[in-house]
Amino acid sequence: MVKFPFRHLVAIAVAAAMPLAAIPAAASISQVAPEANLESSVSGLIVSYRDGVSPVSDDGQPTGENAAGVDLLNTEALGMGFYAVQFESELTTPDAQKIAARMQQDPRISSVELDTKIVAASSTPRVLSALRAASAPRSPIAKDAFSPLAPTNARVNLTWAAPASTYGAKIVGYRIERSVNGSSWSIAVSNTARTSRTHTVTAGNTSGVNYYWRVRAITKLGSFVRVGLASAAVRGRATTVAQPPQLITPDLVSLASADAANGVTVTWSSQSIYQKGGLRTSYRATATAGGAVVAECVTYSNTCTILGLAPEIEHEIKVAATNSRGTSFSGVTLTPRDSEYGKQWYLSATNGINAAKAWSMTSGSRSVVVAVLDSGITNHPDLDGNVVAGYDFVECDTNTGSCAITNDGDGPDPDPTDPGDYLNSERSSWHGTHVAGLIAARANDIGIIGVAPQVRIQPVRVLGAGGSGNSSSLVKALNWAAGNAVSGVPANATPAKVINLSVASPDPGPCPTSLATILPAIKAKGITVVTAAGNTAGNAANYWPGNCYPTINVGSVGPTGEKAGYSNYGSQFSNGVDIAAPGGDSQNPAGSPSGTNGRVLSLINNGTTVSTDFGYSYQEGTSMAAPLVSGVVALMYSAKYNITPDQIWNILQTTAKPHVANTQCSAGLCGIGVVNASLAVAAAAALP
């Protein structure tokens, strides 16, 4: 099967097979950032057979081998009548096209296509920081730093003594590191930029978590900067006021005369220790009529019964959560308290997607699953609890038996963890983790928040070393994510309602026969597929899977609302782009928060090659735009679970924000408009 390098659609692209009748020679992808040349060798075909024809002949060889004129290896079922047929050794694209053309003449064969390249392209370079040595700071102490001026901000203050020796260098600041277990460390403050031996950490802390803390001195001598040895680890936690309770029962109640004696039972979502601010919390449910509290009940649980309500009178129900830091009330819409939310311009800025207003209606349903077909994901606290079982479809080299291309040492298996897509000197991108975070990063007071923080992610790995994989793997992954049977793979216990494909073909070509067959069947099951338009600055109608029907193909705009320079485009004639979303644009960052440079912030791993500790990074590309639309679609399913893909697209069209005037987008290159989460979710919820 032909290997396809996947590059993160941080300026992204995915490649699939093309119909045999006019299979062009493979071309390398054009990206925002230059990438290594893609391989043009082909290792196999994707074949479908006419009704009643067995894919395997009596001698165990694939049907059609004689027509091919070469030795073929046994077929592999991909699902829905498609099979991967492998050459005994890799061939050039022209030679593979000739074989496919001969096979197409065999009356037993319905369709043939190359098993071709698929890529995900990252346009955001990452710079490695140097690590040097100086002696360790001494006597660290960590304490709760609660402030009544910022009652919802989890703060920890650290103090320490200077290191015994700086080896002639000057201290220019200190690095503060944090760990939940004392073994895996992340950077809480990269450089205090002061010689002061005290600092309050105000970002990234979760209330009630008793973190480990340590400090390193940063020294400078001439032009050399050195990060010193770590201090001893100490424990310290932050506390805050409790989060507002979320009512489950109605907030307006009017009891019939016959029911008044039983009162009204009030229930709210049970709160975790961090939602309680890290402290023991009591709850008071009140019933108000005419502006006055007429009855109440108090509990440490998440339910109680209010007695003594007069019948036939409407009462407003509220719940207050109180701990030693203060009181919060239900029914109050707050700005998310995730520490980096202010940098997520793409959610709520003028040219963002209006996510915050949508959250007043729903932040997602646990029954809605979004499959992310990508490089897999890594452990990250912003995804904890929001991931269901996935699968790894990245295959070993069928010609040599080597599993080097998988980077995890084996072939398909139930572990979709991203082992890193590093290749030679190219570092790992953690692309799948970045995409997943944009969809469903938790609202947990740390890092970022996803568009749909209560839905769940299903990681499905189709990209290996260098962002490489097989298009046949993509076919199997789509079938499995949709709940279709795939030979040799356990059934998917949690099929997706939304499938995100932040990948695009590196070379122009029509939608492959396999995808053109599978995607309508997936839609018929009530599943919506969202694709990235690609980052070659070309016509999106020429790149798949976004040019396949039925998908929602997403182009990218920057903070100004203008088309991102790298984004593939549509036209009034080809309609190659259906809708747009912010994907970032570092070349036109005006209006974006300081430090973002117009790019999109999400989750990564800090490992250069293999996984280490969790982190965050800015990237740009249609790979970032597509998951924002997937997140909005997930919110729509959460508001109306049985909504159909056609209803979803009709609503997205009618509620989209108009493009900014006098831009390339207003000229028709970026689809119908920019996705509008607030209006789309409201329209979905209003469906009968």
- The catalytic residues are 374, 431, 623
d(CA 212, CA 443): 22
Handedness of CA 535, 541, 543, 545 (dihedral sign): positive
Q: Are 475 and 514 in contact (CB under 8 A)?
A: yes
d(CA 111, CA 95): 18
Strand partners, 616: 603
C-alpha atoms less than 13 angstroms from C-alpha of 339 in its C-beta half-sphere: 17
Handedness of CA 407, 410, 411, 416 (dihedral sign): negative
- What would the two tokens of residue 393 be? 């479809």
SS3 404: helix
Strand partners, 532: 554
SS3 614: strand
Q: Is there a cis peptide before residue 658, judged by omega within 30 degrees of 0?
A: no
Of 469, 683, 672, nearest in space to 571 by CA:
672
Distances, alpha carbon 354 to alpha carbons 358, 360, 562, 589, 674, in Å: 7, 11, 17, 19, 10
Question: What one-character-per-residue DSSP string does 46-76 give?
Answer: EEEE-TT--SB-TTSSBTTHHHHTS-BPPPE
SS3 637: helix
Burial of 590 (0-12, 13-18, 19+ CB in 10 A): exposed
d(CA 567, CA 559): 14
CA 81 to chain centre: 30
Question: What one-character-per-residue DSSP string does 218-262 give?
Answer: EEEETTEEEEEEEPPPEEE----PPPPP-BSS-SEEE--TTTGGG
Strand partners, 175: 216
Of 176, 182, 186, 174, nearest in space to 212 by CA:
182
Q: What is the DSSP letter of 409?
A: S
Q: Are 569 and 576 in contact (CB under 8 A)?
A: yes
SS3 115: coil
Of 581, 684, 596, nearest in space to 641 by CA:
684
